[in-house]
């Protein structure tokens, strides 16, 4: 495959911005039932729930929507379903898989869940 035939890949800054927005929303939501500053588990649990629901069913979290990126199945180009959305969320919450990327900027969490980040259409 030549470089011209590869679909556009959003910048790391755009992806990080989307994650930062999602994280801030998750900390705020976690504050409804726990103290996120004391209960370190609360915000990651909300993050996994957000990714399960939004990525699994719609292909975008609220932060991704604002950053104009989407997360779809690499094989179908469609939302990946609740299980794969949850898998991606759990691995993203572990942080390390997201830091290990290939040439297409797909982290281990993307590879394991079979997802691909692309500009939203």
Task: Provide mean pLDDT across the span 58-74.
Answer: 97
Name beta bridge partners: 72. Answer: 116
- Confidence category of residue 7, pLDDT binned at 50, 70, 90: low
Residue 7 DSSP class? P
Do 100 and 94 meet the contact criterion of CB atoms below 8 Å apart? Answer: no
Buried b (16+ CB within 10 A) or exposed e, 60-98: bbebbbebebbbbbeeeeebbbeebbbbbbbbbbeeebb
Does 100 have pLDDT greater than 70? Answer: yes
Task: Provide mean pLDDT across the span 69-78.
Answer: 96
User: What is the model's pLDDT at position 2?
Assistant: 42
Predicted confidence (pLDDT) per residue in 10-63, tens digit: 998 999 999 999 999 999 999 999 998 899 999 999 999 999 999 999 999 999
């Amino acid at each position: 495959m030549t470089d011209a035939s590869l679909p556009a890949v959003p910048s790391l800054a755009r992806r990080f911005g989307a994650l930062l927005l999602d994280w801030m929303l998750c900390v705020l939501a976690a504050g409804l039932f726990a103290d996120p500053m004391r209960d370190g588990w609360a915000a990651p649990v909300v993050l996994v729930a957000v990714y399960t629901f939004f990525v699994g069913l719609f292909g975008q979290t609220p932060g991704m929507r604002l950053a104009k990126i989407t997360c779809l199945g690499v094989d179908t180009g469609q939302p990946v379903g609740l299980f794969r959305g949850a898998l991606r969320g759990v691995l993203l919450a572990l942080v390390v898989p997201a830091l290990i990327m290939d040439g297409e900027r797909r982290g281990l969490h993307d590879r394991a869940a079979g997802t691909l980040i692309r500009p939203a259409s």
